[in-house]
């Protein structure tokens, strides 16, 4: 996974029930640093929830149409 704000590479912690599930979008509460940055307290989310919870930070963008 990559964090939204900083594009930091992070991983679901092996003790998480989501470790082998690989949901598309997640939110986490904390990071544990070992040889990797592991997310702890992870929950799967719908990305539209981010715009609802913090519209001042997350904005919906339409893909740019390809001009022919």
66 belongs to a structural domain: no
Give residue 42's domain range. Answer: 11-53
62 belongs to a structural domain: no
4 belongs to a structural domain: no
Asked whether the predicted pLDDT for residue 48 surpasses 70, the reply is yes
Calculate mean pLDDT across residues 12-21. Answer: 92
- What is the Cα–Cα distance from 57 to 48, expressed in whole angstroms? 12
DSSP assigned state of 47:
T
User: Could you tell me which of 47, 51, 49, 42 has the C-alpha nearest to residue 22?
Assistant: 42
| pLDDT tier at 6, thresholds 50, 70, 90 | confident
Q: How many domains does the chain have?
A: 1
| pLDDT tier at 55, thresholds 50, 70, 90 | confident
65 belongs to a structural domain: no
18 belongs to a structural domain: yes
5 belongs to a structural domain: no
The structure's pTM equals 0.71
């Amino acid at each position: 996974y990559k964090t939204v704000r900083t594009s930091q590479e992070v991983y679901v912690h092996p003790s998480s029930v989501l470790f082998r599930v690989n949901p598309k979008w997640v939110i986490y509460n904390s990071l544990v640093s070992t040889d990797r940055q592991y997310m702890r307290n992870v929950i799967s989310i719908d990305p539209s929830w981010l715009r609802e919870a913090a519209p001042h930070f997350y904005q919906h963008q339409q893909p740019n149409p390809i001009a022919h």
